[in-house]
């Protein structure tokens, strides 16, 4: 079934990277947005209005297509089924995994998602030191 193990390992690695970059992080944004911001890379074409090309999405799509191509080349049989399953899992899986963890293991802790409509943030500004 496996024709070339190196391509399979590379393909699975790239699909896992896409899976990790799509995990919802703070405020339900993908973890890829956080990484791009920390690296100083733009997330959107127009950062002020958060519109334009979503560079994280373009990067994830490219990595996913390359990874799926590697998996397709590595397998002799059932390659179409495995590629479709890997694509669905890498794109839809992160949200379901986080929700399942919060319902079971992390019940009562909403560190990754919260109800934005019923949430409120208040702060006071110390004018003498200009810090929060």
- pLDDT bin (cut points 50, 70, 90) of residue 132 is very low
Task: Give me the pLDDT at residue 114, please.
Answer: 58
**pLDDT above 50: residue 107:** yes
Tokens of 116: 């934005």
Q: What does pLDDT average to over the chain? A: 81
What span, in angstroms and rounded, lies between the C-alpha atoms of 61 and 89?
A: 14
What span, in angstroms and rounded, lies between the C-alpha atoms of 100 and 96?
A: 6
Task: Give me the pLDDT at residue 15, please.
Answer: 92
- pLDDT bin (cut points 50, 70, 90) of residue 2 is confident
Give the single-character DSSP code of 129: T
Neighbouring CB atoms inside 10 A of 45's CB total 12
- Going from N- to C-terminal start, the domains of the chain cover 5-103
**pLDDT above 60: residue 5:** yes
Task: Give me the pLDDT at residue 128, please.
Answer: 63
> Which of the two residues, 2 and 35, has the higher pLDDT score?
35
pTM, to two decimals: 0.72
Please give the average per-residue pLDDT across 28-32, as a whole number. Answer: 80
Please give the average per-residue pLDDT across 5-24, as a whole number. Answer: 90
Please give the average per-residue pLDDT across 75-84, as a whole number. Answer: 89
């Amino acid at each position: 079934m496996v024709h070339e193990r190196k391509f399979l390992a590379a393909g699975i690695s790239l699909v896992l990277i896409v899976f990790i970059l799509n995990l919802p992080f703070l405020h339900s944004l993908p973890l890829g947005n956080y990484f791009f911001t920390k690296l100083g890379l733009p997330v959107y074409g127009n950062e002020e209005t958060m519109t334009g090309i979503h560079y994280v999405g373009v990067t994830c799509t490219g990595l996913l297509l390359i990874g799926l191509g590697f998996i397709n080349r590595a397998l002799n049989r059932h390659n179409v089924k495995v590629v479709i399953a890997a694509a669905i899992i890498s794109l839809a899986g992160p949200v379901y995994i986080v929700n399942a963890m919060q319902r079971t293991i992390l019940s009562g802790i909403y560190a990754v998602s919260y109800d934005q409509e019923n949430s409120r943030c208040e702060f006071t500004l110390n004018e003498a030191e200009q810090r929060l």
